Amino acid sequence: MEKDETSTGQDNHTPFWIPFLPDGLQEILSETGEISRFAGRFFQEAFLPPYELKEIIKQSYEIGYKTLPLVATTAFIIGMVLTLQSRPTLVRFGAESWLPAMVSVSIIREIGPVIISLICAGKIGSGIGAELGSMKVTEQIDAMEVSGTNPFKYIVVSRIISTTFMIPLLIIMGDAIALYGSFLAVKAKGAVSFTLYFHQVFQNLDFGDVVPALIKSFFFGFVIGLVGCYKGYNSQNGTEGVGQSANSAVVVASLLVFILDLIAVQITSFFGYI
């Protein structure tokens, strides 16, 4: 007589040690596996025709253009605050001339990409999670499958591609605006020209500051889109599940941004860029 798999709550693919782990850790591992499987399906679908170019362009507009005012405002404030907070300490040690270099390296390397990605995780990740969650609970996704449309390619692939490429652009624009905010803060405290300030900025930036930060911003964009789509696409429990999907999309995407940033720092340190 064959053993009933359902009676044990396990299947033949579950490692024997999983049931011995704490429930919270089991849930984390299960969620990680499902997100990884979701990402694998994205890579399968993304390179196969048909390509939803119109939807990608539409989502890029929604994600990029409509998020730019929030990113610009936040970046401008970050640049000014960082400069105003750093200046007294540098003045105390007679190193005020190093202020443009310190602020530019801090913004380009770390503060700009991470803070702007967290803002995007809050606005874009929650928006995608809520939008796809509402489509799921109102059976719009099921209707697309019945009509012969591939909902995963049309809904998920287009949004993940858009976030992957638009969030790095938002980060670049945010970095530039933050540096301009920093210049205005320096200008308010002393006589320095626009040309001199940005000459000092670019003189102290090198390959190891700009390129690794740009590369990791693509990964930030990818995980924000991936988590938002995953949470919304698998939303359950009716309208209550829509709110849960949006909330968990923000939390998980923000956590993954920090984890990816930590990994990126270790990699750049290993290759001698830090």
The model's pLDDT over 51-96, given as tens digits with 9 standing for 90+, comes to 888 989 999 998 999 999 999 999 999 999 998 888 888 778 777 7
At 60 the pLDDT is 93
For the entire predicted model, the pTM comes to 0.86
Q: What is the pLDDT of residues 4-57, one digit of tens each?
A: 444 444 445 556 556 666 766 777 788 888 899 999 999 998 888 888 889 899
Q: Can you tell me the distance from the alpha carbon of 153 to that of 151, in angstroms, rounded to the nearest whole number? A: 6
Stronger pLDDT, 9 or 158, i.e. the higher one: 158
In terms of C-beta distances under 8 Å and separation of at least 24 residues, what long-range contacts does 173-177 make, across chains too?
173/68, 173/71, 173/72, 173/75, 174/71, 174/72, 174/74, 174/75, 174/112, 174/116, 175/75, 175/107, 175/108, 175/112, 175/113, 177/71, 177/72, 177/75, 177/76, 177/79
Query: If you count them, how many residues does the chain have?
Result: 274
Average pLDDT over every residue of 230-237? 86
Asked if pLDDT for residue 192 goes beyond 90, the answer is: no
Among 34, 33, 36, 28, CA closest to 236: 34
- Is the N-terminal amide bond of 19 cis, ω within 30° of 0? no
